[in-house]
Amino acid sequence: MTATASKALPHGRIHNFSAGPGAMPLPVLEQIKEELLHLPGARASVLEISHRSKDFDRILSETEADLRRLYGIGPDFKVAFLQGGASQQFAMVPMNFSVGKKAGYILTGAWGKKAMKEAKTVVDTQVLWTGEEKNFSSVPKPGAVNIPAGLSYIHFTSNETIQGVQFQGKPPVGEAPLVCDMSSDFLSRPVDVSRYGMIYAGAQKNIGPAGLTVALIREDMLARIPEKMSAIFKYSTHTEADSRYNTPPVFGIYAAGLVFKWMLETYGSLDKLEKANREKSALIYNAIETSGGFYKAHAEADCRSYMNVTWTLADSGLEAEFLKEAAANDLSGLEGHRSVGGMRASLYNAVPRESAEALAGFMTDFKNRKG
């Protein structure tokens, strides 16, 4: 025994801090298990029925309706359930919305940088702000981004999963529509969707299984799509076909629908969910802050992510031991991304508070013994 043993989770499951695919709500997993042989009504699983069947019609429409309810999405927005991951949107966004024009990028971490790199292959781009000189540990202060006129859109990443920096409060404003990669904080707090031209997110953090990508697209953006382009890469192809131009990721949509229902039943609203998320991360930041310098947070205090908490140990020689002991205490998925080093605890919506408590307890115990 190396530290205070954490209380095991049901079914002997680990405390899962994986950055993605990440933890799913246990009641959702249980329902999937239950329904995998026999979806009510269908007498087969969702994996075995047509995406154009009545049973799938119901799943798709309920999933969309619950998502609209959670975010308060207006009728001027289309919801698309896509494939290709957030990475495919890095390419599709400029192809659809910026041909012949320049797109602006705010870079607060590795994913924003990757999105711009991809956009550069098809359109002109401009860096509007970058946090790279400070190893992506900050976001621009309000008013700090100089936005020129004439941009096709302004792209930013609301939460940088690798660095653990997150925009707090209102998003940046400009004359051009905002396009946001919300992959790692989608549905983690209320968002005024009407401020955006488009929001997209890979599912494997807060939505459900990998393989599904959700996009919210303001209708007027669809008018910009060039005529001469492969149908499969046009957002309008998917919105016009109700996400069924071709076979959609049926299992992902089904599971996302269950996750949305779980959110509505457990929290009712996104402000309650945000509060729970902030409380979980506060437990970890508090363990860092009270460690007397034993642990050091990567992100600056005003933009610390409540989804991905990143930190290093003052004595990096102890990091391997930290991870080994953490694993022995059922605390899993804590190794930081190689570009930042140190540790990362991903505290997505489905990570229970008791997992954050167990990690915070372990961190303090480890520091007391090794510090």
Task: Tell me which residues are annotated as active site.
Answer: 111, 181, 205
Indicate whether 20 belongs to the interface with ligand PMP (CB under 6 A). Answer: yes
Do the beta carbons of residue 80 and residue 63 sit within 8 Å? Answer: no
For ligand PMP, the binding residue among 184, 243, 277, 346 (CB under 6 A) is 184
For ligand PMP, the binding residue among 98, 108, 138, 183 (CB under 6 A) is 183
Do the beta carbons of residue 154 and residue 147 sit within 8 Å? Answer: yes
Question: Residue 87 or 266: which CB sits closer to ligand PMP?
Answer: 87
Question: Residue 85 or 209: which CB sits closer to ligand PMP?
Answer: 85
**In whole angstroms, what is the distance from residue 132 CA to residue 116 CA?**
14
Indicate whether 257 belongs to the interface with ligand PMP (CB under 6 A). Answer: no
Question: Residue 66 or 181: which CB sits closer to ligand PMP?
Answer: 181
Indicate whether 202 belongs to the interface with ligand PMP (CB under 6 A). Answer: yes
Residue written as tokens 């709500």?
A: 25
CB 249 → ligand PMP: shortest distance, Å? 12
CB 114 → ligand PMP: shortest distance, Å? 7
Indicate whether 83 belongs to the interface with ligand PMP (CB under 6 A). Answer: no
Residue 338, both tokens: 């190689």
Count of residues that interact with ligand PMP, criterion CB under 6 A: 11
List all residues 6 or more positions away from 240 whose beta carbon is below 8 Å from its beta carbon.
none
Q: 291-323 burial, b for 16+ CB within 10 Å, e for fewer?
A: beebbebbbeeebbbbbbbbbbbeeeebbeebb
CB 163 → ligand PMP: shortest distance, Å? 10
For ligand PMP, the binding residue among 59, 67, 82, 86 (CB under 6 A) is 86
- Count how many Cα atoms sit within 13 Å of the Cα of residue 98 in the half-sphere of its side chain: 32
Binding to ligand PMP, residues 210-239 (CB under 6 A): none
Question: Residue 209 or 361: which CB sits closer to ligand PMP?
Answer: 209
Indicate whether 22 belongs to the interface with ligand PMP (CB under 6 A). Answer: no
Region of 31-39, 179-187, 232-240, 284-292 interacting with ligand PMP (CB under 6 A): 179-187
Region of 22-30, 35-43, 84-92, 148-156 interacting with ligand PMP (CB under 6 A): 84-92
CB 108 → ligand PMP: shortest distance, Å? 10
* CB atoms near residue 246 (< 10 Å): 12
Binding mask 265-304 for ligand PMP (x = CB under 6 A): ----------------------------------------
Binding mask 124-163 for ligand PMP (x = CB under 6 A): ---------------------------------x---x--
Contacts to ligand PMP by CB under 6 A = 20, 85-87, 111, 157, 161, 181, 183-184, 202
